[in-house]
Structure 1
Amino acid sequence: MSTNSTGSGMEVMMTPWLHFNGGDFLYFQHLAPSSNGAIAGASIALFLLAVFERFAAGMRGTMERRWRQKALAITSNKLAPTESPDCCAGDSGQKQSPTALRTTPRTIAPFIPSVDLVRGCMHSGQAVLQYALMLAVMTFQAAYIISIVVGLGVGEVIFGRPSVQPAHHAH
């Protein structure tokens, strides 16, 4: 058990096992739901936060697909041969196929500021949500943990399909 002083002369004990008791600090010193109603309200808020985290993950997956298509379009335009008359002539003066001019395809998408800065911000925002959920779980308050797990499951059912990238598209 660890002891924490709140600065008001009162000692607070952290319960390091699963429990349904109230009074655990949730993010801030002055946010310590202790009544059943307050714990229920905090649990509902954590449920919604977990659903929102899955929404953010789904949106990020959807955006990743769009960004990948944009990067492929940009790289395919850069790899296309120019249409000058002697661009495709080899040493023998014969025309070579345009594919002979293409290099190995890129394995990493090019840096596109309008894409990569947004991607970084979305990742950071999702990390904040995940850490906030983790901190609530670390209280060992069973109602919070159950609410978060159920919220993540419900959010995945609702928002998880768009974020899943199939291996091959059927045309």
Structure 2
Amino acid sequence: MDMDSMSGMDMGMSATSSAAATTATSSSSSSSSSMDMMTMVFHTSTNDPLFASGWTPSSTGKYAGTCIFLIVLAVTYRLTHVIKHRTERYLISRATHIAISSHIHTVDDDGAIEKYTASTSSISKPLSFGDARPWRVSIDFPMAAIQVILAGTSYLLMLAVMTFNVGYFLSVLGGIFLGELVLGRFAGSVNAH
């Protein structure tokens, strides 16, 4: 190769590399501007979109309304836990007809009926799939529907927290606290006093 052809190649390569550098620089600046829009640190902006670009608070009042919505959604999340627990206990007890105590009726010498209650004891066994209750539409379908609502609500709350907005984050935590404070006692054992 002679020098002229090499210098022509160098010129062609330098033009190509400068064009690539320009493209990389513009690509870098556009990606940095998109990273500025999605900060990965907690911040206190009042105009972060929630769930969709159409739900972007444009004033302090709308931001407060969004925070109140998140509090209500978090209370609903806790309420769904309570509903799931109580519905499951109700449906299973209704379907299985397991007697907690057995009643024995006898007739004494005077002809009066006496009622004796003998408690049944349950022996705890290790968990096995053979001991599982049978599948029933009346139990499993409502429980699956409640679980879908529970999962959808929890994912929406997670997405709100992932905006890294301090107000949204504190609203979710406040709603869960409020929901537990008001509704937590209803999720306990039905027979507990």
TM over 0.5: yes
Q: Displacement, 1:32?
A: 1.3
Give the corresponding residue for 2:169.
145
Q: Please list, as runs of the form range in 1=range in 2, the aligned pairs for 1:1-150 lying within 5 A after superposition.
A: 4=34, 13-73=37-97, 76=98, 107-150=131-174
Evaluate the alpha carbon distance shift between residue 3 and residue 53 of structure 1 in structure 2; reply closer, same or farther with a 3 A threshold.
farther
When normalised by structure 1's length, the TM-score is 0.69
Question: Given that residues 50 and 56 in structure 2 are in contact (C-alpha distance below 8 angstroms), is that contact kept between their aligned partners in structure 1?
Answer: yes
Distance 1:27 1:110, change over 3 A: same
Shift of 1:164: 2.2
- 5+ residue gaps, structure 1: 5-10, 78-103
Q: 57-66 vs 157-166, which deviates more? A: 157-166
**CA RMSD after TM alignment:** 2.8
Q: Which has the higher contact order (CA 8 A, sep 6+)?
A: 1
| Contact persistence 2:92–2:139 (CA under 8 A) | no
State whether residues 2 and 14 of structure 1, in contact with CA within 8 Å, keep that contact through their aligned partners in structure 2: no
In the TM superposition, residue 39 of structure 1 has moved relative to its aligned partner by 1.3
How many residue pairs match? The answer is: 135
Q: Which ranges of structure 2 fall in alignment gaps of 5 or more residues?
A: 1-30, 100-124
- Whether the aligned pair in 1 keeps the contact of 2:88 and 2:139 (CA below 8 Å) is no
Q: Give the match's secondary structure for 2:48.
A: coil
Taking structure 1 as reference, are residues 112 and 142 closer, same or farther at Cα in structure 2, changes over 3 Å only? same
Asked whether the 8 Å contact 1:68–1:109 carries over to 2, the reply is no
Distance in 1 between the 2:88 and 2:143 partners? 8
Q: Deviation above 3 Å: which 4+ runs of structure 1?
A: 1-4
Any idea what SS the aligned residue of 2:56 has? coil
Structure having the higher Rg: 2
Q: CA separation in 1, counterparts of 2:40 and 2:192?
A: 51
Query: 3-state SS of the aligned residue for 1:127?
Result: helix
How high is the TM-score relative to the length of structure 2? Answer: 0.62
**Would you tell me which structure has more helix in proportion to its own residues?**
2
Matched residues in 1 for 2:75 and 2:85: separation?
A: 15
Distance 2:144 2:172 in 1: 25
